[in-house]
């Protein structure tokens, strides 16, 4: 201990020291300053008065008029103090008791990360047990915004560090005209360095409680996984809904890799409770496990998969138990100009032939498919090549439809094609940012032929996938591909080349259909639809993609899909997409994303069903998140139509939600709808 001051007086017999005038006491990791200080060397007890300042090496700086301390055990009490606790928390307390460098207890206390005489937010409490860098336990807590109380909490826990650790998370809350008032309580358990869990208890005033659990683990760099489970005893429908998901990935010995996915669901859980559009519309669960290994020119995969209908009115199932695939990649045969590849696939299928949930009619069949191919490539010129591939297929079935016993199906396939001639031209722009661009034109012509062999055995096949449905084919495919490549400056004195536009025009001609004699009700139509496909990114700020199909026989547009993104400035993004299917769905979706002031963001999105002129979903989001400030907030509005309707009620055909969240930097967030999925879309920069 080192003491400096303007004046010092000592009682040698009683071992008491009095100091006054710019007193400074330096101890390990701590400094005490005051106008005057009295210290008892026998007990270590001391009293500091007048302009007391206590500093710790961790950034703590506390001011008071009086403080008691002990230079031996470093404990103490500070009265009517205010200052900084650690590097970012500002504290004010009637009495602050120090037990160690990190452990404090406070009475009549407030804490915030905001500066100023009137902080934007602060948390007051009657008492608080604080461990800096960890947590604070409190009683009689009040959250204030600009000195206005907005939330009272009798007792609780505050995380005062962003590091991973166990503790209660801020509860989530919300309101919905379907679910009623919602409250989500969560406890996070940091089990160890490589695993943690979250225990959940959700409540919907109109539907009931929904407990859940999440468990995550990463014991090594190449091993990870998670498990989630939840259920709802629904008061609206009277049914119990549940959902279990799990995933595990791991590198096994000898270069094998494992990937497993468990996807189990009670009837219509996703349809009733999930906010994700794709999952809400899904009607099957899909569980699988794979083991893979790859070599230089071949690969092996063992797959087990089971898909089950989640629709109440259906009991469709499909299992591949297992499916073993061995692929030999295309490789040269010695020094010849011939190449060989082969696919070998064994599958054991299991399905229920009757979709009625009350009737089970299981059907199981084993299939072995062998498909070797031989390829010859001839480079006629640098801008033109010709390739031909001949394949032999042998497929064995343990049984077939109509009680057919073991049988096999034989087949041949031939593919021949020209690639080129390729035409290209380089244009000089005299622009320092894009000095050149290249236009490339490449026609392609391909002939696919499969003879009509073994027709008798084909009729026995129960069709599960594309291998089972292979039929005779005599098809000419022709396409024209145009590409534009830009040579762009990278801003550092060098240039990069990228594909800025690709336009594919394609069609096919069916020779078998051309030979068929048509009828007035079923005319011969050998020409397929013409397909147009454009993908472009002429500039980083402009995205333009389009694909469509045109029926040349009926002379109508069958499909048209458009995707446009425009970013005129860094702060503004506009996005639009439209999907059109003749005699099918026609939908449009638009998003506005605007950073209109520093720290402020506004998003607006809508999805329109043009068939019914109904906005199926609209989202509005306002966010304030300035990292230089001590707080932020979000306000969201969601309106959905034909959402979450259940089999037992029409409740949920329409839904409106208002969501709000407040973030207190260094303390945490209070949010509603934390798992909400919005339809806002954007596009990534290519730079």
Q: What is the pLDDT of residue 596?
A: 93
Considering the domain architecture, whether residues 37 and 97 belong to the same structural domain is answered as: yes
Strand-pairing partners, residue 310, are: none
What does the DSSP assignment read for 186-197? EEEEEEETTEEE
| pLDDT range class, residue 647, cuts 50, 70, 90 | very low
Task: Classify residue 166: in a domain, yes or no.
Answer: no
Segment 28-56 mean pLDDT: 92
Domain finish residue from 528, 552, 584:
528
Considering the domain architecture, whether residues 549 and 507 belong to the same structural domain is answered as: no
* Alpha-carbon dihedral 414, 418, 549, 468, rounded to 10 degrees: 10
Segment 19-30 mean pLDDT: 89
| pLDDT range class, residue 183, cuts 50, 70, 90 | confident
What residues contact residue 188 under an 8 Å CB cut-off, 6+ apart? 165, 166, 167, 168, 169, 196, 197, 198
Considering the domain architecture, whether residues 556 and 516 belong to the same structural domain is answered as: no
Least confident range of 303-307, 382-386, 432-436, 643-647:
643-647
Task: Classify residue 390: in a domain, yes or no.
Answer: yes
* Residue 9 clears pLDDT 80, i.e. is over it: yes
Task: Classify residue 252: in a domain, yes or no.
Answer: no
* Residue 629 clears pLDDT 70, i.e. is over it: yes
Considering the domain architecture, whether residues 500 and 607 belong to the same structural domain is answered as: no
Task: Classify residue 643: in a domain, yes or no.
Answer: yes
Could you give the CA distance from residue 619 to residue 599 in angstroms, rounded to a whole number? Answer: 20
Domain finish residue from 77, 106, 122:
122
Task: Classify residue 269: in a domain, yes or no.
Answer: no
Least confident range of 252-256, 355-359, 501-505:
355-359
Segment 263-286 mean pLDDT: 78
Q: What is the pLDDT of residue 261?
A: 97
Q: What is the pLDDT of residue 178?
A: 78
* Residue 646 clears pLDDT 70, i.e. is over it: no
* Residue 392 clears pLDDT 70, i.e. is over it: yes
CA 500 to chain CA mean position, Å: 28
Q: The domain containing residue 43 runs over which residues?
A: 2-122
Segment 562-579 mean pLDDT: 96
Segment 546-575 mean pLDDT: 96
Considering the domain architecture, whether residues 521 and 572 belong to the same structural domain is answered as: no
Q: Are the C-beta atoms of 303 and 274 separated by less than 8 Å?
A: no
* Residue 60 clears pLDDT 70, i.e. is over it: yes
| Choice between 646 and 109, residue whose per-residue pLDDT is larger | 109
Considering the domain architecture, whether residues 382 and 481 belong to the same structural domain is answered as: yes
* Residue 170 clears pLDDT 60, i.e. is over it: yes
Say which CATH number the domain at 12 has.
2.60.450.10
With CA atoms as reference, report the closest residue to 651 among 665, 635, 640, 667: 640
How high does pLDDT run on average in the chain? Answer: 89
Q: Are the C-beta atoms of 510 and 518 separated by less than 8 Å?
A: no
Considering the domain architecture, whether residues 547 and 511 belong to the same structural domain is answered as: no
Which whole-number Å values give the CA distances from 254 to 251, 257, 291, in the listed order? 9, 9, 12
What residues contact residue 262 under an 8 Å CB cut-off, 6+ apart? 244, 245, 246, 247, 287
Q: What is the pLDDT of residue 644?
A: 46
Could you give the CA distance from residue 508 to residue 478 in angstroms, rounded to a whole number? Answer: 6
Burial of 13 (0-12, 13-18, 19+ CB in 10 A): exposed
Considering the domain architecture, whether residues 610 and 684 belong to the same structural domain is answered as: yes
- Give the percent of the chain with pLDDT over 90: 59
* Residue 650 clears pLDDT 60, i.e. is over it: no
* Residue 649 clears pLDDT 50, i.e. is over it: no
| pLDDT range class, residue 278, cuts 50, 70, 90 | low
Domain count, the chain: 3
Least confident range of 221-235, 353-367, 514-528:
353-367
Considering the domain architecture, whether residues 479 and 408 belong to the same structural domain is answered as: yes
Considering the domain architecture, whether residues 517 and 632 belong to the same structural domain is answered as: no
Segment 23-44 mean pLDDT: 90
Domain finish residue from 122, 154, 174:
122
Which whole-number Å values give the CA distances from 551 to 433, 446, 527, 532, 556, in the listed order? 42, 21, 9, 12, 5
Task: Classify residue 605: in a domain, yes or no.
Answer: yes
Q: What is the pLDDT of residue 672?
A: 55
Helix (H, G, I), strand (E, B) or coil at 431: coil
* Residue 173 clears pLDDT 90, i.e. is over it: no
Specify the DSSP element, H or E, that contains 457: helix 455-458
With CA atoms as reference, report the closest residue to 391 among 464, 459, 473, 298: 473
Considering the domain architecture, whether residues 606 and 477 belong to the same structural domain is answered as: no
Q: What is the pLDDT of residue 648?
A: 40
* Residue 545 clears pLDDT 70, i.e. is over it: yes
Helix (H, G, I), strand (E, B) or coil at 171: coil
Task: Classify residue 628: in a domain, yes or no.
Answer: yes
Interval 312-328: pLDDT, tens: 777 889 999 999 999 99
Interval 578-621: pLDDT, tens: 999 999 999 999 999 999 998 899 999 999 999 988 898 899 99
Task: Classify residue 99: in a domain, yes or no.
Answer: yes
* Residue 501 clears pLDDT 50, i.e. is over it: yes
* Residue 216 clears pLDDT 80, i.e. is over it: yes
Considering the domain architecture, whether residues 545 and 521 belong to the same structural domain is answered as: no
Q: What is the pLDDT of residue 510?
A: 97
Q: What is the pLDDT of residue 651?
A: 42
Segment 565-577 mean pLDDT: 96
């Amino acid at each position: 201990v080192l003491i400096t001051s303007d004046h010092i007086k000592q009682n040698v017999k009683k071992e008491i020291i009095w100091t006054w005038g710019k007193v400074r006491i330096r101890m390990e990791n701590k400094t005490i300053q005051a106008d005057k200080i009295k210290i008892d060397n026998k007990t270590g007890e001391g009293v500091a008065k007048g302009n007391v300042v206590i500093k710790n090496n961790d950034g703590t700086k506390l001011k008071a008029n009086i403080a008691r301390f002990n230079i031996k055990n470093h404990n103490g009490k500070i009265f009517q103090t205010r200052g900084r606790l650690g590097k970012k928390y500002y504290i004010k307390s009637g009495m602050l008791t120090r037990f160690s460098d990190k452990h404090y207890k406070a009475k009549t206390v407030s804490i915030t990360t905001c500066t100023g005489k009137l902080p934007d937010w602060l948390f007051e409490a009657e008492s608080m047990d604080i461990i800096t860098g960890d947590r604070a336990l409190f009683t009689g807590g009040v959250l204030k915004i600009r000195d206005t109380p907005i939330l009272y909490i009798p007792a609780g826990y505050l995380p005062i560090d962003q590091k991973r650790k166990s503790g209660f998370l801020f509860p989530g809350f919300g309101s919905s005209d379907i679910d009623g008032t919602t409250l989500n309580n969560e406890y996070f358990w940091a089990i160890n360095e490589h695993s943690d869990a979250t225990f959940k208890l959700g409540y919907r005033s109109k539907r009931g409680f929904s407990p859940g659990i999440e468990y995550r683990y990463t014991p090594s760099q190449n091993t990870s996984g998670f498990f989630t489970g939840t259920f709802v005893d629904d008061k609206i429908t009277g049914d119990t809904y549940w959902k279990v998901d799990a995933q595990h990935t791991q590198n096994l010995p000898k270069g094998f890799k494992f990937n497993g996915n468990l996807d189990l669901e009670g009837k219509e859980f996703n349809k009733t409770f999930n906010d994700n559009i794709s999952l809400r519309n899904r009607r099957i669960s899909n569980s699988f496990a794979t083991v893979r290994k790859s070599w230089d020119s071949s690969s092996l995969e063992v797959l087990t998969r089971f898909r089950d209908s989640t629709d109440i009115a259906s009991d469709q199932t499909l299992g591949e138990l297992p499916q073993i695939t061995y692929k030999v990649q295309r490789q040269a045969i010695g020094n010849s100009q011939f190449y060989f590849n082969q696919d070998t696939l064994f599958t054991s299928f299991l399905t229920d032939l009757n979709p009625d949930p009350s009737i089970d009619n299981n059907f199981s069949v084993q299939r072995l498919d062998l498909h070797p191919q031989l390829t010859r490539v001839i480079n006629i010129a640098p801008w033109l090549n010709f390739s031909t591939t001949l394949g032999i297929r042998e497929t064995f079935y343990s049984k077939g439809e109509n009680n057919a016993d073991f049988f096999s199906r034989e087949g041949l396939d031939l593919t021949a094609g020209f690639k080129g001639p390729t035409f290209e031209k380089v244009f000089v722009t005299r622009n320092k940012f894009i000095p050149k661009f290249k236009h490339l034109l490449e026609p392609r012509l391909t002939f696919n032929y499969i003879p009509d062999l073994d027709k008798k055995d084909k009729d026995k096949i129960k069709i599960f996938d594309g291998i089972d449905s292979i039929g005779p084919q005599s098809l000419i495919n022709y396409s024209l591909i145009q590409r534009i490549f830009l040579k762009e400056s990278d801003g550092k004195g060098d240039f990069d080349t990228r594909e800025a536009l690709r336009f594919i025009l394609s069609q096919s001609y069916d020779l078998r259909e051309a030979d068929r004699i048509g009828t007035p009700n079923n005319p011969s139509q050998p020409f397929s639809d013409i397909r147009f496909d454009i993908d472009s990114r002429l500039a980083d700020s402009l995205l333009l993609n389009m694909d469509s199909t045109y029926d040349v026989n009926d002379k109508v547009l069958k499909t048209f899909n458009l995707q446009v993104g425009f970013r005129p400035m860094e702060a503004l993004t506009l996005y639009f997409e439209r999907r059109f299917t003749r005699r099918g769905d026609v939908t449009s979706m638009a998003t506005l994303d605007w950073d209109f002031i520093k720290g402020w963001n506004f998003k607006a999105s809508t999805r329109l069903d043009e068939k019914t002129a109904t906005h199926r979903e609209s989202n509005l989001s306002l966010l304030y998140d300035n990292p230089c400030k001590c707080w932020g907030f979000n306000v969201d509005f969601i309106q959905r139509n034909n959402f979450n309707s259940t089999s037992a009620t029409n409740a949920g055909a329409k839904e409106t939600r208002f969501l709000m969240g407040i973030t207190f930097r260094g303390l945490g967030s209070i949010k509603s709808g934390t798992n909400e999925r919005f339809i806002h879309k954007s596009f990534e920069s290519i730079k």
